């Protein structure tokens, strides 16, 4: 440690000094989710208007506090802000014209970070929050492994912002960067690590959806729960079920996994890899979840390729993937990331896990949604539509869709004809919208004359 401390002191700089390393036309990578730098961001924001031009800031799922480079530069004369995955903060910024989405399938992030064929997209300056250095000279990425290491190693300047409040998440793979691999160290102001509030109480429709999905899960299944209230509800139901020997391989470690551990449902004994460990690539949750992850050898932080690549998912028997969607049309095209042209989230790992779970022996992927939503004026709308809303993004092509679930049922769409998909989706829609959907199906010529679909 003594040897490393000498190097540590040599590389230690202030946040203001670190911000001066950014040059015009640079790409600056802001870590992933809760590892977004805070002090460096504030210092960089101070440089707006000092002659710095055309600096691209790139994040993955921005969280509070609001990045200073957005707040300080509403005319975008210095900074432009991009996010690989949209959060509520990113959505609001985009609504104001201050942020732009960068689409990708999440497992490919690791590939982009390491493959020299994509070096034009590598960061000039990388900065992320990390844990304090350990006795081996390593800084742990904590709650945001993802593709942090690859971005750090292949940047022109790599800077860590140390926060002793960051949980130390053991590996895994790519969970750290060594002091010899970075250029500078900022000792941050020890801000609290971003945490999410507890999930809202589930609706009756969400409860019915969750009950149907839990009934499809078998002992020894390997689970991936997506982002949102419904996946957490399903995890809580699993915790109270009779299931046993479950495994976890999920891009996100969510709150429900803690309860599943507490009730003895998770053992990870039947996984194909990382046996006895829950593998994840980032976490967004409550402080209690972060406390659980801190220095916990039963959990393994890994690069997102290792959790999300379809082949890695498929290696597990009975892989179960559960994700929310926003809407689906009668052609069985799924949108999970935009309301028309308004970006809501991102593809993230949804397509990764939909593909991988289907290719797993005994695996199932579930795309779940309440059949309706109510707008700000109190009007109810169907999430099953004749065609996707104009401008909506196809997150999961119809050929990839496996199980679709609403409060009105669950259907395996694989190998169904176009007629069969249309009929199944109309039956999954809210009864108030079925007649109109049926009329649309007939007009679209995707309805059989007999109204009975053999497959």
Indicate which residues carry an active-site annotation: 251
Dihedral of CA atoms 219, 220, 226, 228 in degrees, nearest 10, equals 40
At residue 54's C-alpha, the angle toward residues 52 and 60, to 5°, is: 110
Integer angstrom CA distances of residue 444 from 58, 103, 251, 329, 448:
42, 31, 38, 12, 11
> Is residue 403 within 8 Å of residue 416, measured between CB atoms?
no
Question: Which residue in 162, 171, 196, 161 sits closest to 293, CA to CA?
Answer: 171
146 secondary structure, DSSP code: B
Cis peptide preceding 65, ω within 30 of 0 = yes
Distances (CA, A) of 224 to 14, 47, 246, 253, 316: 40, 42, 11, 9, 12
Angle at 21 between CA 52 and CA 28, to 5 degrees: 75
Q: Which residues 6+ apart lie within 8 Å of 368 measured at CB?
A: 209, 213, 230, 322, 323, 324, 325, 404, 405, 406
Asked if 148 contacts 32 with a C-beta cutoff of 8 angstroms, the reply is yes
CA-to-CA dists, residue 144 to 8, 156, 284, angstroms: 22, 21, 9
Q: What are phi and psi of 244, to 5 degrees?
A: -145, 165
H or E segment to which residue 296 belongs: none
CA distance 132 to 139: 6
Cα separation values, 204 from 57, 225, 230, 383, 428, Å: 41, 20, 11, 17, 16
Quick one: tokens of 17?
């000094």
CA-CA-CA-CA torsion sign (120, 121, 127, 131): negative
Per-position b or e across 280-296, b if 16+ CB within 10 A of its CB: bbbbbbbeebbebbbeb
């Amino acid at each position: 440690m003594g040897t490393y401390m000498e190097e540590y002191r040599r590389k230690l700089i202030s946040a203001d000094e670190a911000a001066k390393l950014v040059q015009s036309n640079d790409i600056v990578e802001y870590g992933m989710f809760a590892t977004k730098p805070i002090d460096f961001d504030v210092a960089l924001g101070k440089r707006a208007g000092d002659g710095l031009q055309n600096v691209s800031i790139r994040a993955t799922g921005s969280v509070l506090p609001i990045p200073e480079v957005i707040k300080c530069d509403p005319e975008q004369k210095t900074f432009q802000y991009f996010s690989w995955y949209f959060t509520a903060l990113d959505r609001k910024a985009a609504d104001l014209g201050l942020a732009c989405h960068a689409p990708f399938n999440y497992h490919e992030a690791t590939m982009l970070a390491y493959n020299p064929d994509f070096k034009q997209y590598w960061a000039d300056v990388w900065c992320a929050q990390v844990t304090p250095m350990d006795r081996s000279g390593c800084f742990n990425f904590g709650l945001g492994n993802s593709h942090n290491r690859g971005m750090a190693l292949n940047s022109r300047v790599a800077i860590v912002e140390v926060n002793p409040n960051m949980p130390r998440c053991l590996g895994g793979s790519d969970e750290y960067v060594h002091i010899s691999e970075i250029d500078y160290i900022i000792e941050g102001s020890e801000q609290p690590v971003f945490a999410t509030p507890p999930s809202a109480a589930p609706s009756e429709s969400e409860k019915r959806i969750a009950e149907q999905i839990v009934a499809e899960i078998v002992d020894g299944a390997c689970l991936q729960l997506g982002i949102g209230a419904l996946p957490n509800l399903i995890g809580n139901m699993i915790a109270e079920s009779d299931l046993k020997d479950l495994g976890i391989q999920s891009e996100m470690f969510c709150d429900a996994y803690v309860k599943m551990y507490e009730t003895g449902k998770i053992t990870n004994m039947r996984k194909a890899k990382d046996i006895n460990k829950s593998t994840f690539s980032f976490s967004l949750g409550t402080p209690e979840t972060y406390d659980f992850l801190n220095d916990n050898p039963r959990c393994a932080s890994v690069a997102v390729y290792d959790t999300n690549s379809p082949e890695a998912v498929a290696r597990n028997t009975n892989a179960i993937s559960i994700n929310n969607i926003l809407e689906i049309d009668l052609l069985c095209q799924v949108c999970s990331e935009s309301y028309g042209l308004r970006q809501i989230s991102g593809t993230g790992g949804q397509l990764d896990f939909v593909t991988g779970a289907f290719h797993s022996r005994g695996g199932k992927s579930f795309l779940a949604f309440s059949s309706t939503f109510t707008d700000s004026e109190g009007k109810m709308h169907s999430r099953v539509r004749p065609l996707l809303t104009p401008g909506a993004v196809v997150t999961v092509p119809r050929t990839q869709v496996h199980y679709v679930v609403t409060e009105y049922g669950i259907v395996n769409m694989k190998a169904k004809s176009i007629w069969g998909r249309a009929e199944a989706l109309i039956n999954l829609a809210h009864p108030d919208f079925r007649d109109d959907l049926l009329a649309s199906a007939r007009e679209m010529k995707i309805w059989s004359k007999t109204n009975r679909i053999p497959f």
